[in-house]
Amino acid sequence: MIPISISSEVKSKCPQLQLGCIQCNLIVTNEYPTLLELIQKELTELQSKLSVEEISKIPSIQSSRIGYKSLGKDPARYRLSAEALLRRVVKGKGLYQVNNVVDLLNLTSVKSGFSIGGYDAEKIKGDVQLTIGKANEPYEAIGRGELNIEFLPTFRDQEGPFGSPTSDSVRTMVTPKTQQFLMPIFNFGGLQNLEEVMSNAIVLLEKHATGSTFETRIIT
């Protein structure tokens, strides 16, 4: 697995933070009817039992928002991806349809409430550290253009920032050419179900993305 660590600055402000990391080989495709059927079923269930007002009370969402505030970022203005996706689902807007890998990642995120990154591991250069974003750092977010990552928890390799729980970057995004995948799950509150969520994600990767050669690690 790519060496990944959490900076001392992030640890001091978010002492319970854990990263549940999965790295594997897989196949990216735009044809995945079985997964889309599963996603629709799960989203219908979520929409029927959850209201917008209840989303912020989900333990994984609540602890993530506290983590953002500890780092100095407003979680209402820079929503964590899990919260933003859940709000879409509850409002009946569904999830974005991108490819099998991104879609199963988003399904895992809305079911667990954990924000999750998804990266082409071969585009990452050198070791990775979770840091705090700095002012005026260039960061092109997927589907959002330039994103202000100041005070955001931010993954960084030798080429600079490339991922955060608000939005991943274009530089390391998953494409049809991706063969090695890195999937870090952000557990800001030290919640006990992280390993279960990781196991469920592996099942989805195996079944819907021909996932193989799995490496897993929980980083604290």
- Domains: count for the chain: 1
Asked if residues 64 and 92 have their Cβ atoms less than 8 Å apart, the reply is: no
Cα separation of 147 and 140, whole Å?
Answer: 6
The strand ranges marked E within 31-171 are 115-116, 119-120, 128-132, 140-141, 145-146, 153-157, 160-163
Residue 73: what pLDDT? Answer: 96
- SS3 (DSSP) at 144: coil
Res 146: pLDDT:
94
Q: If pLDDT is split at 50, 70 and 90, which confidence band does 113 have? A: very high
Tell me how far apart the alpha carbons of residues 24 and 1 are, in angstroms, rounded to a whole number.
Answer: 9
Q: Which domain holds residue 47?
A: 4-219
**Residue 70 confidence (pLDDT):** 97
**Alpha-carbon gap, residue 210 to 24, rounded angstroms:** 10
Share above pLDDT 90 across residues of the chain, in percent, rounded to a whole number: 99
- Phi, psi (degrees; rounded to nearest 5) at 194: -60, -45
pLDDT value of position 175? 97
Reading the block at residue 91, the tokens are 């409002």
What's the pLDDT score for residue 199?
Answer: 98
3-state SS track over 31-86: CCHHHHHHHHHHHHHHHHHCCHHHHCCCHHHHHHHHHHHHHCCCCCCCCCHHHHHH
Span 55-71, pLDDT tens digits: 999 999 999 999 999 99
pLDDT digits (tens, 9 = 90+) for 28-51: 999 999 999 999 999 999 999 999
For all residues of the chain together, what is the average pLDDT?
97
- What's the whole-model pTM score? 0.96
CATH number of the structural domain spanning residue 38: 3.50.40.10
- What confidence tens digit (pLDDT) does each residue in 143-199 have? 989 999 999 999 999 999 999 999 999 999 999 999 999 999 999 999 999 999 999
Mean per-residue pLDDT for 94-119? 97
What φ, ψ does residue 32 adopt, rounded to 5°?
Answer: -150, 65
Q: What is the pLDDT of residue 47?
A: 94
